[in-house]
Structure 1
Amino acid sequence: MDIDENLPRRRDDPVANLVTHDIDTLSVAELDARIALLKAEIIRCEGKIAFASTHRSVADALFKK
């Protein structure tokens, strides 16, 4: 369980807006486009995680006692 899970989200939180958006009104093409966009965002996030992990490892090695 995330420690921040019980904290209220900001009103403009994009993730909250994304998951509460009604998808029943979207066409198949719109859903396909949404999935493609979400997959691209996942790849972007994974790249950021990889960069941050590498950056942290370099910093740890640099400041290692």
Structure 2
Amino acid sequence: MAFIEMVEMLDILKRADYDGKKAKIMVKVVKSLHMNFGVRRSKDQLRKRWSDLKIREHDQYRRLRRVLQKCK
């Protein structure tokens, strides 16, 4: 997954206060990634990527958050 795609995903999930149980939010992420970048990812793939970012790849997660804070 490209960095800019992860930024888009993180932006949507943070705005909606995603906790892993709201399926409607993940549908928005899937549609947004397809419209903006032309990639098709399943909800399960994105859910796993979100979990990996928070738990295993915490440095990258912090870097993504910093990019989002600079944009706002």
User: TM (normalized to structure 2)?
Assistant: 0.28
Larger Rg: 1
Larger RCO: 1 or 2 (CA < 8 Å, sep 6+)? 2
TM value normalised by structure 1: 0.30
